[in-house]
Amino acid sequence: RVKDRLSARLLPDGSAPPSFFEVDLQLNGLGVCLHPSIDDIQNAINGGAVAVLKCSKMIEAWDTVTIPRNVQLLLNPNLPPVRGTGSQGTFYDRVAQDREILKVVLLLTGSIQSARNECDRFLEHFSPWRWLWSDDINEEYKSFLASEPTLDEFESKLRSFGKVDAGVDELEPRRQISALMLQTGGLAQNLKELANKWRESFARELHNQAFQRLEALSEIIKRTMKKLNREVADGDIDALGHVMQTLQEVRERQGEIELEFEPITQMYAILDTYLPNILDKEEQDARSMLQSNWIRLLAESETRQEEL
């Protein structure tokens, strides 16, 4: 029965025999592997076969006439044991000379090896995701940044990491190969975690850029507003000249500054999708107040222009 279960032969109805071992697919840092490995499984089978043979050394052999003394005592302790005409040895002596049993033992010792090549072919299904564990995230980001990507290209890159989840979800949850039932659930979860790590790493870099630009623009608006609100006393030529220069700067840089709003807005919209809940309250407030602060600055500059 064990030999039949471990063999790769189909049943009379054309179906595969039930699997004998459940094997998890895992990442070992170099690639996808079986856990336990085929060698481990084969060693366990070999050890089991050897253990059964060794057990037969401890069992006294008997024929159809003579039953071993200890068995007779168990069956009927009140009757004296009947002694045989001669020593029958142990069952191991008979097993070791039985060609059919030896043939089965030899088949068992190589029963799983036949599945090795098919398992290797199945593991190739995961090669499209090899970059998840073999490539360096920081180096890949530097290479990506060197191409001077647009925000649309950045979003497309983040979206590609999300497509990994969809591809992994299409994997078979299990695949039977010979006597092995390969379970892909744990591996699928590992692949999703790696894809999420890539997505978060790239998104955090985008967040750094967005925050720097938001902070720089907010500081410009704050500093300019402070300059505009400088008090100009009667006869204070220096203060008047300072405010007038600031008004001129606002007019000259208005178009340049307003061009900064769109990329910042787009960056944070991307982050809302791919890295939500990363903003603290201070940054969230600065983001929400950026447009209104700029509008207030323009209104203040018009007011000051009329006053002066």
pLDDT on residue 163: 92
Answer yes or no: is pLDDT of 139 > 80. Answer: yes
User: How, if at all, do strands 180-183 and 174-177 pair?
Assistant: antiparallel
Query: What's the number of CA atoms in the CB half-sphere (13 Å) around residue 111?
Result: 31
Cα dihedral value 155, 157, 158, 159, nearest 10? 90
AA letter at 89: G
Residue whose tokens read 């695949």: 175
What are 7's two structure tokens? 């063999």
Residue with more model confidence, 222 or 80: 222
pLDDT on residue 67: 60
Give 238-274 pLDDT, tens digit per residue. Answer: 777 888 888 888 888 999 999 999 999 999 999 999 9
Phi-psi region of 20 (alpha: psi -120 to 50; beta: other; left: phi over 0): alpha
This prediction's pTM: 0.75
What are 308's two structure tokens? 């002066």
Which residues have CB under 8 Å from 237's CB, separation 6+?
none
H/E segment holding residue 27: strand 21-27
Measuring CA to CA, which residue among 40, 8, 12 is closest to residue 24? 40
Residue 39 pLDDT grade (very low, low, confident, very high; cuts 50, 70, 90): confident
